[in-house]
């Protein structure tokens, strides 16, 4: 079991680790040197060191939820720090630190000599310094030497950079056995925070790797929610969705940032797991319907297989907002009843989607009007209540196939009030067909 999940976790990690491009590294180095020179010219106490030639992060952990959990416990920042220390050592060994220090000194003296630094604006001064630094880096050959160094980064770690990162993560997971629960279980507590409690929990190395693999394989919808499914016919349905659907349509393995608008998820809904899950499933159904209309057999067959697999899968919703006290893992029931009744039935889906899309559109228009009238806080508070009621409504629908009329009535009451207050018309027609 250990060897199986060791390999799976390593492969999953490799897909989520993105090396930073040289152009981004170069730009950060230039900005660091520019800032150093500005501080020197203005007489501020500054110290030149190799960290100016190293970006804050040479690799990106692209899984937002996994990143947040690891960052919160210091695991990911520690790994990045170790990588940067190795690069700092290599920079010194190759004499690039000394070369850069001399270059910066010459650039600073040149600017002081030729520019009236006391009379020009900060913006103009920054522009002059940046131009001088970029020219000096290129002409001295230091830029090419730094680029060569960063392109060799794999050679500086035994087995390569990914292997180094994997070993550090594995070491952290082994340490987690000493606590009540590992960091990869959101909502858990550590022995250090609950030294007087005993839950009798114990995890083997294989179990910890399997838990880490499931979390890392999950699909993030926003920065707070991740969805993990398994148990169907497709060996790794998460990878199928990431690689063949999300990457193809959005060039991203996760739905973050502005992509949330594509899924019609409001900011107030981004921490609500059932809302996020339902809107994710509706989007997959939309992709499937569009593929059928376009007679794209390859894509429609792929999506049909994915949807059928999701119906027969089980899994988790990882809920990881910024506030640790609200984090949790929600076991998902089988989704066959919900998908079969509400999503695969075209008429039911149109009614259901019409209700959610109409609510999304209405709240967007209300918030836009509220901003003009400087009444955002009123709308934001109302949205929070709507999101809470909608979350419970969808939870009952998914888990029990029950329409919770009380939460629906609460939503309608607030919508009517907002419609009246901001004179924005809305049509609640789909609600009368929900049954």
pLDDT of residue 204: 72
Long-range pairs for 280-288: beta carbons < 8 A, 24 or more residues apart? 280/219, 280/221, 280/227, 280/255, 281/310, 281/335, 281/339, 281/343, 282/343, 282/349, 282/352, 282/353, 282/356, 284/241, 284/245, 284/310, 285/343, 285/344, 285/349, 287/245, 287/249
Q: Which two tokens stand for residue 180?
A: 């009540």
Taking CA 378 as the corner, what is the angle to CA 376 and CA 381, rounded to the nearest 5 degrees? 105
Sheet architecture: strand order including 328-332 = 219-221, 225-230, 314-319, 328-332
Residue 94, SS3 per DSSP: coil
Q: How far is CA 188 from CA 43, 66, 173, 180, 216, in A?
A: 49, 14, 14, 8, 17
Q: What is the pLDDT along the chain (435 residues), one digit of tens a residue?
A: 567 778 889 999 999 999 999 999 999 999 999 999 999 988 888 889 999 999 998 999 999 999 999 887 788 999 999 999 999 999 999 999 999 999 999 999 988 887 777 778 888 889 999 999 999 999 999 999 999 999 999 999 999 999 999 999 888 877 765 555 567 777 655 444 444 444 555 667 777 888 889 999 999 999 999 999 998 777 789 999 999 999 999 999 999 999 999 999 999 999 999 999 999 999 999 999 999 999 999 999 999 999 999 999 999 999 999 888 889 999 999 999 999 999 999 999 999 999 999 999 999 999 999 999 999 899 999 999 999 999 999 999 999 999 999 999 999 999 999 999 999 988 877 787 777
Start-to-end C-alpha separation, the chain: 46
pLDDT of residue 252: 96
pLDDT of residue 177: 57
Q: Which two tokens stand for residue 229?
A: 């499914």
In terms of Cα–Cα distance, which of 420, 415, 422, 414 is closest to 371? Answer: 422
53: left (phi over 0), alpha (psi -120 to 50) or beta: alpha
Q: Which two tokens stand for residue 93?
A: 């060994």
pLDDT of residue 197: 46
Q: How far is CA 220 from CA 1, 31, 217, 273, in A?
A: 26, 32, 9, 11
Rounded CA gap, 215 and 227, in Å?
A: 9
Residue 199, SS3 per DSSP: coil
Rounded CA gap, 163 and 180, in Å?
A: 28
In the chain, what are the domain boundaries? 1-163, 217-344, 348-433
pLDDT of residue 182: 64
pLDDT of residue 203: 67
Locus of tokens 């630190």: 97
Rounded CA gap, 386 and 261, in Å?
A: 18
């Amino acid at each position: 079991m250990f060897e199986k999940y060791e390999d799976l976790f390593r492969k999953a990690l490799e897909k989520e680790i993105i090396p930073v491009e040289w152009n981004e590294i170069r730009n950060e180095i230039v900005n660091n040197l520019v800032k150093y020179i500005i501080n020197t010219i203005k007489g501020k106490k500054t110290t030149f060191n190799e960290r100016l030639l190293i970006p804050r992060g040479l690799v990106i952990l692209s899984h937002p939820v996994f990143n947040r959990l690891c960052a919160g416990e210091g695991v990911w920042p520690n790994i990045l720090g170790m990588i940067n220390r190795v690069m700092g050592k290599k920079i010194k060994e190759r004499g690039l630190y000394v070369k850069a220090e001399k270059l910066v000194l010459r650039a600073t003296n040149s600017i002081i000599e030729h520019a009236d630094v006391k009379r020009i604006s900060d913006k103009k001064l920054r522009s002059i310094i940046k131009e001088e630094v970029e020219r000096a880096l290129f002409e001295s050959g230091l830029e090419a030497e730094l680029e060569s160094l960063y392109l060799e980064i794999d050679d500086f770690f035994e087995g390569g950079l990914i292997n180094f990162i994997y070993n550090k993560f594995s070491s952290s997971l082994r340490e987690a056995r000493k606590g009540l629960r590992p960091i990869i279980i959101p909502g858990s507590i550590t022995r250090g925070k609950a030294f007087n409690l005993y839950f009798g929990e114990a995890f083997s190395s294989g179990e910890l790797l399997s838990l880490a693999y499931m979390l890392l394989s999950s699909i993030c919808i926003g920065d707070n929610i991740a969805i993990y499914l398994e148990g169907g016919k497709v060996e790794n349905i998460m990878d199928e969705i990431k690689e063949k659907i999300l990457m193809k349509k959005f060039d991203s393995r996760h739905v973050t940032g502005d992509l949330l608008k594509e899924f019609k998820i409001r900011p107030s809904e981004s921490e609500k797991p059932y809302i996020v899950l339902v809107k994710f499933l509706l989007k997959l159904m939309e992709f499937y319907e569009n593929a059928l209309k376009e007679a794209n057999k390859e894509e429609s067959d792929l999506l049909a297989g994915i949807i059928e697999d999701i119906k027969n899968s089980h899994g988790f919703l990882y809920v990881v907002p910024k506030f640790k006290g609200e984090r949790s893992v929600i076991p998902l029931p089988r989704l066959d009843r919900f998908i079969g009744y509400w999503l695969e039935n075209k008429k039911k889906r149109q009614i259901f989607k019409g209700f959610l899309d109409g609510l999304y559109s209405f709240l967007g228009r209300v918030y836009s009007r509220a901003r003009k009238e400087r009444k955002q806080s009123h709308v934001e508070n109302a949205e929070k209540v709507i999101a809470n009621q909608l979350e419970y409504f969808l939870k009952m629908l998914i888990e029990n196939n029950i329409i919770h009329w009380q939460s629906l009535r609460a939503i309608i009451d607030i919508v009517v009030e907002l419609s009246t207050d901001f004179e924005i018309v809305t049509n609640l027609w789909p609600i009368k067909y929900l049954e």
